[in-house]
Amino acid sequence: MENQQRHIICYYSMKFNADNGNSKGLFLIINEKKLIFKSRENFNAEDLREAHIKCLKCLMAEIERLEIKGKITSEDIVYINTDSKAVIDKINEILNGFKENKCSIKKLSKIALKLQWHKNWELVFNKNNSKELYKFLKEFYGNNKKIKDSKRRNKENNDTKNINKILENNDLDIIFFDFEMNCTNAEGVNNEIISIGAVRYSNNDNKVFYSYIKPSFNWILSDRCKTLTNIKQKEIDNADYFIKVFSRFERWVGEDEVIFISWGNDDIRALKRDVRLNKCDLSIVNKMIDNYGNFQAVLTKHLNNKTQISLINALKAYDIQFEGQQHNALDDAWNLGKLYMKFKEELKGKEFTRSNN
């Protein structure tokens, strides 16, 4: 049975302070009058045009996340509303130049690039963008009901639920993982994963997985990236591409139930982005997304920090010396494992020793 085509409507409302650049955005994604995403974001922008662009990027990133989760399909028509005609005109100018071979794919802006990839997305000028957004919310929640930000409420639950699961069940395997990216600043070019490190903890034993990954679109490392990660260009040139590396990783993980833990949300966001870039449909991806825990969020809350704590400072808080080289994916994953097991030691009395299996 073929999927029924649906109309996905995306709105944003934005307030921009011209004096200091402070901006506030409210974002909605609606599927057939059903709210599937709502979020508020604060950010800085140099001018009104940049504020609109940042709002569109935020919406598009969330649409991609919903596609990966299966809540939006390639059969759906996605309408992305904006009340900035100037931004739409500029993006259309760039896209037309690309279609007429007047510019290369590297010259496309990030928004234009996403519209080029996603043929079912349509950027729409809507002068009533904000009015329609608030009208929908008023009807959806009722006149007197306080509007709550479901994304923020659910985010904490998603960060903690899988970690609580392994704290309560010692039989579950844990895989601590980290990615390094190629940290490019080129306009319209995404940062892609260039290495993966993972440490699997199971019944007081552990195994490791490490591999370089050759990016599909931008594999030339910047000087900053080579200095930061100590990865050489030759190692990336000779590496396998994303799908081949993650096929090996899938075999390494196996079919047992596991929980994947990283430090912060950057790694899982990078994974989702590269899945889209590489049109990857490996089952390991959904397994990671569905069984993922953000230990940074858990420990930050545990230590009563008002801002997110860095991995280095978290290790110091537990009197743990960093072992290896920072920004090496395997060493970062290993030290994350040490930190987690020290945290768990307070509750369960477990130890964590390194091996090279």
Q: What is the pLDDT at residue 265?
A: 87
**Is pLDDT of 33 > 50?**
yes
What is the percent of the chain where pLDDT is above 70? 81
The CATH superfamily label for domain 7-148 reads Ribonuclease H-like superfamily/Ribonuclease H (3.30.420.10)
Q: What is the pLDDT at residue 239?
A: 96
Read off the pLDDT of residues 272-281 as tens digits, 9 standing for 90 and up. Answer: 888 888 888 8
Work out the angle at residue 129's Cα, subtended by the Cα atoms of residues 7 and 40, and round it to the nearest 5 degrees.
Answer: 90
Read off the pLDDT of residues 77-130 as tens digits, 9 standing for 90 and up. Answer: 999 999 888 888 888 887 777 666 655 545 456 777 788 788 889 999 988 888
Task: Tell me the C-alpha distance between 346 and 348, whole Å.
Answer: 6
When pLDDT is averaged across residues 161-169 and rounded to a whole number, the result is 65
* pLDDT band at residue 147 using 50, 70 and 90 as cut-offs: very low
**Is pLDDT of 234 > 90?**
yes
Task: Tell me the C-alpha distance between 20 and 43, whole Å.
Answer: 11
Bridging pattern class, strands 193-202 and 205-212: antiparallel
Does 152-348 carry CATH code 3.40.50.720?
no
Identify which of 227-236, 304-313, 341-350 has the greatest average pLDDT: 227-236
Domain ranges for the chain: 7-148, 152-348
Q: 7-148 and 152-348 share one CATH topology?
A: yes
When pLDDT is averaged across residues 241-263 and rounded to a whole number, the result is 94
In degrees rounded to 5, what are phi and psi of residue 265? -95, -5
Task: Tell me the C-alpha distance between 119 and 117, whole Å.
Answer: 6
Question: Mean pLDDT of all residues in the chain?
Answer: 83
